[in-house]
Chain A
Amino acid sequence: MGEGSILTLLGIAVVVVGFMARINPLVVILAAALVTGITGGLTLPETLAALGKAFNDNRYVSAVWLVLPVIGLLERSGLQERARALIGRIRAATAGRLLLIYLVFRQIGAAVGLKDIAGHPQMVRPLVAPMAEAAAENRLGPISERTRFRIRSHSAAVDNIGLFFGEDIFIAIASILLIKGFLEQNGIVVEPLQLSVWAIPTALAAFAIHGTRLLLLDRRLKRETAAEAETPPTAPEPAAPELAR
């Protein structure tokens, strides 16, 4: 084992092709594991045993789902509605600033382990995108479709960026536990807290970078709208589609 045959990379090819063909990722991963084991010189039962052992050793990665009953219970009691009321009270004047506030909320929320109180279906579509669009309209007057879809794209992007560069600060997130497990298999013991502390510099950098881009977005939207106002389109634009409820 581990003699370094180039054939062992076939498993990676299986992952790439499987994902590109949009086959269910669980099936792709199982196939990749089997191909990798067998090209690596194991028999099928040995490969299955290796996969089974790793799956059993990594159970703690899935133990984080234990939080769902509490989150669900809080949702049932109106947690999301409360969060909406809180955000609604912040009277942001522009799309960029509103998204910046959401970036803060999302990053801090994820950093304290509340990554599931927001997300695209729960927050972005019903709240963040419509609020950002409304803020732009208040400021700039009617906006073009292009501008509207740019704002929507940025609303979705803020959620991802806030989540990605916030969640690793929380010590019990899956990626931190994966790092811990990987290092442990290689004989290095680190505590999750050590790892999460070193996620903070990147979190700050990401906030500075994306925050600056959001403030620049306001100027861009303004320029775009002003340019479009000077050269009105020959055909009347279709009415902006309201997000279907």
Chain B
Amino acid sequence: MITIQWLYVLAGLVFGAFAVLSARDPANPKRLRNTGFWGLLSLSFLFGDLLGDFGNGLLVVALVVVGGIGGLGLGRPATTTPEQRREGSSRWGNKLFLCALTIPAVTLFGALVLKEIEFGGVPLLEPKQATLISLGMGVLVALAVTSALTRPPPLAPLQEGRRLIDTVGWAAILPQMLASLGAVFALAGVGEVIGGLAGDYLPLGTRLAAVVAYCLGMAMFTFIMGNAFAAFPVMTAAIGLPILIGRFGGDPAVVCAIGMLAGFCGTLTTPMAANFNVVPANLLELPDRHAPFNGVIRAQVPTAALVLLANMVLMFLLAFR
């Protein structure tokens, strides 16, 4: 059986390669910080299960110290010039799109077909993680196809990957950190407290009221936190799970999928979501880029409000079939 562990080993090796290549990049003034950060992440993927819970806690602290205080630098791996890229574009044409589409194609194939294959009662893929394992296979197939087409230097995939991961920087672990914070919130009963407050102060007695409260709560909490990932575990533990799914018997997949998208409506309206709403205002040199609610956010607010309303209607209609 192919397990998620195989994918973690692959990820650990790739991040390890980023760490080693970073150390050898003289163009990056903070190269040792990058080496430390990607090296710690590599350690987590390769040996996380052997470190113990407290050991992993220390690893998180180390990641935050290396990446969050002082920050990472930008590596400058050798890549192609704009002229070479234009040449490549006309030389390989739309085959480049085919290479890129290999990833989702193989992922879908794995999630739909390979997932069902068994050998003597043992499934080929670890059932709970079939999609992610398939994604890993998609990456490997796409890498093979692209390399066969463009014949890059051997280290090019790792160097180009490092170029991209450095542009993401410490934010690469932000979703995982927020998911972990959500787990600590859950352990300390934050959802229950908010749920208690919501239960005390919000009319959740009917399906419609509970749907409105959950969607609105997702959007408002996301507005405060700047990230729907942080709002989701709290609001879902407070209202989604106990009331919409527990009391009213809503379909968990529908409630959670649409609830997350209600949160995204909040993301569109908040200056806290800096990478989506503040960075582009700077990139486009908008005159009001330093205002809390710049032109980008103002352009998004009407759509956010209407899509939030649509989410409430959709959840009400689809979750309780």
Contact = CB atoms under 8 A, between A and B. Distances in A.
Contacts of A112: 101, 104
A30 interface: yes
Contacts of A54: 179-180, 182-184
Interface string A35-56: 0110111100101111111111
Contact of B48 (A59, A65, A194): A59
Given A4-B196, A81-B85, A121-B283, A171 B139 contact: no
A188 B228 CA distance: 21
Contacts of B174: 25-26, 29
B136 interface: yes
Contacts of B229: 174-175, 178
Interface string A179-219: 10111111011111111111101100110011001000000
A59 B176 contact: yes
A168 B257 contact: yes
Name which of B64, B268, B279 has the most chain A CB atoms within 10 A of its CB.
B64
Interface in A131-189: 145, 149-150, 152-157, 159-161, 164-165, 168, 170-172, 174-179, 181-186, 188-189
Interface residues of A, number: 130
Q: Is the interface of A mostly helix, strand, loop or mixed?
A: helix
A244 B284 CA distance: 10
A59 B318 CA distance: 32
Interface string B167-206: 0101111111111111111111110111010000000000
B257 A49 contact: no
B96 A4 contact: no
Contacts of A78: 80, 84-92, 96
A5 B130 CA distance: 39
B60 interface: yes
Given A81-B86, A202-B258, A66 B299 contact: no
A71 B103 CA distance: 10
Given A57-B183, A73-B160, A76-B80, A27 B165 contact: no
A63 B296 CA distance: 31
A129 interface: yes
B230 A15 contact: yes
Interface string B221-253: 000111011101110110001000100000011
Nearest to B256: A179
A157 B265 CA distance: 12
Contact of B179 (A61, A129, A244): A61
Interface size class of B (residues with CB under 8 A): 35 or more
Interface in B278-321: 279-281, 283-288, 294-296, 298-300, 302-303, 306-307, 310-311, 314, 318
Given A33-B181, A78-B87, A174-B229, A72 B157 contact: yes
Nearest to A80: B85
- Residue among B188, B196, B281 with the highest chain A CB neighbour number at 10 A: B188
B64 A79 contact: no
B57 interface: yes
A11 interface: yes
A48 B165 CA distance: 27
B73 interface: no
Contacts of B281: 153, 156
A117 interface: yes
Given A4-B192, A77-B150, A78-B92, A153 B286 contact: yes
Given A67-B103, A75-B160, A156-B280, A149 B261 contact: no
A178 B176 CA distance: 9
A1 interface: yes
B186 A185 contact: yes
Given A73-B147, A81-B88, A155 B160 contact: no
A11 B295 contact: no
A171 B180 contact: no
B299 A195 contact: no
Contacts of B277: 160
B234 to A, nearest CB: 8
> What are the nearest 9 A-B pairs in CB distance?
A72-B160, A52-B56, A40-B188, A78-B88, A48-B57, A52-B57, A2-B189, A153-B295, A69-B161
24 contacts: A16-B224, A16-B225, A24-B68, A29-B64, A45-B54, A45-B57, A48-B57, A49-B54, A56-B44, A58-B176, A63-B132, A64-B135, A70-B146, A71-B160, A74-B100, A113-B107, A150-B295, A153-B296, A160-B267, A165-B261, A177-B132, A183-B252, A198-B257, A209-B306
